[in-house]
A and B are shown apart, each in its own frame.
Chain A
């Protein structure tokens, strides 16, 4: 039996703007199998980042339902949604959003600190080693290259072993070599023991091609699945 890690049921996100109604996401229905990987592509403004935000519970749909695992994230109270995100989801964005005053190690460990784990840094160090960044553990983000910073951001997303990894243009500001390495890391995490589901928003066909399946959006709708 396969179970869906993500189920979107006629999900829409509409905004009222001075210029009229914007249908950022328009009645999307989509299942993503647990343990699989999916690319969401499309030109800029097609709604792909909004869709990822809806899956991760960063945004609430105007209509429809989003289910992650066995929980309908779109109708959870805010604090429950925050807990689900913190415990079970891992996020990576184009900008690394690292805390500039914290070292690489501290940035990775902070997710665990929030969960009240006093000794999260052991696991954080382990990940730094796996990512080949052990020599950089005590450096500030400013002292790292773009590719190194993004690897730290990925370690931060993985440190609590999430079952769903959501990445929004994770290679958007990197060159080809770094980009390839970042996708390697995401795929390794997806296939690691226990397995995770991976969803990547990308405008880069080379990145999309490496994932199990691609969904292309246009004007907030699925163009071809």
Chain B
């Protein structure tokens, strides 16, 4: 028997309008993310994968349809509540690291901890998280002294900073060579195994997508099994 869904997406639609033109990227997309499962999402570029991720992270509102997270409808939360949910229960990693360039790896992670409400000993926890992604030695280094793959692992540590239930990863290996891409994915799968996370990752790479327990494809604005 499947565990109850952590995320339930129903009939999601989103259209971008610019002077005179319209592009409907999502038209009634529906799917669920089962608690503790890894799910991959593929689709050609421009198919709306990033839009879907932004909606799931509560960064954007759909024009119709609904997303519920652990039984709560995102659409019914105000901005502050959505921000709190994002900071504490959803970890997000994007294609290119969103590290702050003038802070060290440890400071970047510590910041993520502070933003989620702090908790005890944020400094020590930041270092522990960096150890978890294999970067204990790099804690005091600035992003520009790291490789792209290392910077992405710091981003994963930031996303894990507040013990989220859901990890969203949007093309996080898109700019990496295969060795570095593998290490980043190992870190994500490791966190899934150790923490019982629910993971959704978007990728162009079919081989990577196949490693998820459930595989989805975004096609013509709808989510179908891949």
A binds B: yes
Q: Which residues from chain A sit less than 8 Å from chain B, CB to CB?
A: 53, 56, 58-59, 78-79, 82, 85-86, 89, 91, 93, 97, 99-103, 106, 110, 113-114, 138, 140, 142
In contact, A110 and B101 (Cβ under 8 angstroms): no
How many angstroms from the CA of A101 to the CA of B86 in the assembled complex?
8
Known: A101-B57, A101-B92. A59 touches B145 (CB 8 A): yes
Shortest A76–chain B CB gap in Å is 11
In contact, B111 and A97 (Cβ under 8 angstroms): no
In contact, B104 and A82 (Cβ under 8 angstroms): yes
**Most chain B CB inside 10 Å of its own CB: which residue of A78, A82, A97, A103:** A82
B77-118, CB < 8 A from A = 79, 83, 86-87, 92, 94, 98, 100-104, 106-107, 110-111, 114-115
* Nearest A-chain residue to B142, judged by Cβ: A58
B210 close to A (CB within 8 Å)? no
In contact, A103 and B144 (Cβ under 8 angstroms): no
How many chain B residues touch A (CB < 8 A): the figure is 26
In the complex, chain A residues whose CB is within 8 Å of the CB of B87: 101
How many angstroms from the CA of A110 to the CA of B87 in the assembled complex?
13
Number of A-B contacts (CB under 8 A): 62
In the complex, chain B residues whose CB is within 8 Å of the CB of A100: 59, 94, 98
In contact, B79 and A97 (Cβ under 8 angstroms): no
How many angstroms from the CA of A79 to the CA of B103 in the assembled complex?
11
Can you list 15 residue pairs at the A/B interface with Cβ under 8 Å?
Answer: A58-B144, A58-B145, A78-B140, A85-B103, A93-B101, A100-B94, A101-B83, A101-B92, A102-B83, A103-B79, A103-B83, A110-B115, A114-B110, A114-B111, A142-B59
Q: Which residues from chain B sit less than 8 Å from chain A, CB to CB?
A: 57, 59-60, 79, 83, 86-87, 92, 94, 98, 100-104, 106-107, 110-111, 114-115, 140-142, 144-145
Partner of B102, one of A91, A102, A103, A138: A91
* Nearest A-chain residue to B112, judged by Cβ: A99
New contact pairs (17) apart from A82-B103, A93-B101, A114-B114, CB-CB < 8 Å = A53-B144, A59-B145, A78-B141, A79-B140, A89-B102, A97-B100, A99-B98, A99-B100, A100-B59, A100-B94, A101-B57, A110-B100, A110-B114, A113-B114, A114-B103, A114-B107, A140-B59
In the complex, chain B residues whose CB is within 8 Å of the CB of A59: 144-145
Shortest A211–chain B CB gap in Å is 21
Shortest B118–chain A CB gap in Å is 9
In the complex, chain B residues whose CB is within 8 Å of the CB of A138: 79
In contact, A86 and B83 (Cβ under 8 angstroms): no
Shortest A129–chain B CB gap in Å is 20
In the complex, chain B residues whose CB is within 8 Å of the CB of A89: 102
Partner of A113, one of B94, B98, B106, B115: B115
Q: Which 5 A-B pairs have the closest CB atoms?
A: A78-B140, A91-B102, A113-B114, A82-B104, A58-B142
In the complex, chain A residues whose CB is within 8 Å of the CB of B141: 78
Known: A97-B98, A100-B59. A82 touches B140 (CB 8 A): yes
* Nearest B-chain residue to A100, judged by Cβ: B98
Shortest A51–chain B CB gap in Å is 14
How many angstroms from the CA of A89 to the CA of B142 in the assembled complex?
15
**Most chain B CB inside 10 Å of its own CB: which residue of A56, A93, A97:** A97
How many angstroms from the CA of A113 to the CA of B94 in the assembled complex?
23
How many angstroms from the CA of A56 to the CA of B145 in the assembled complex?
14
Shortest B170–chain A CB gap in Å is 11
How many angstroms from the CA of A140 to the CA of B83 in the assembled complex?
10
* Nearest A-chain residue to B141, judged by Cβ: A78
In the complex, chain B residues whose CB is within 8 Å of the CB of A114: 103, 107, 110-111, 114
Partner of B103, one of A53, A86, A93: A86
